[in-house]
Amino acid sequence: MSDKHSTNAYWSANLRIIWVCIAIWAFVSYGCAIIFRPLLSGIRLGGTDLGFWFAQQGSILVFIVLIFWYAWRMNRLDREFGVEE
């Protein structure tokens, strides 16, 4: 029974990490680049407005950071549950 509980806890934690990544990605990609772009247009970054920057570069950079954060966090989770490689 405890092995099944451990497996369920592992996958629950894994799905929670995935949902956090998806929420951050969606907020940056859709929120900052599309929905909130008019609000961000007054803020200048690198010669252009912040909304345009998120649409062109920011969402890609955040996505790359999310990939590395996910890998780091999953390695920690694997160690916690004893399933590391």
Summarised one tens digit per residue, pLDDT across range 26-37 is 998 888 888 888
Q: How far apart are CA 17 and CA 71, in angstroms?
A: 10
Candidates 24, 25, 14; CA nearest to 73 is 14
Examine the pLDDT at 1 and tell me if it is beyond 60.
Answer: no
Q: Average pLDDT in the 55-76 region?
A: 92
Report the phi/psi class of residue 47: left, alpha or beta, with left for phi > 0 and alpha for psi in -120 to 50: left
Task: Measure CA 3 to chain center.
Answer: 29
The whole-chain average pLDDT of the chain stands at 88
Examine the pLDDT at 67 and tell me if it is beyond 70.
Answer: yes
Contacts of 60 (CB under 8 A, 6+ apart): none
For 41, which DSSP code? T
Q: How far apart are CA 21 and CA 18, in angstroms?
A: 5
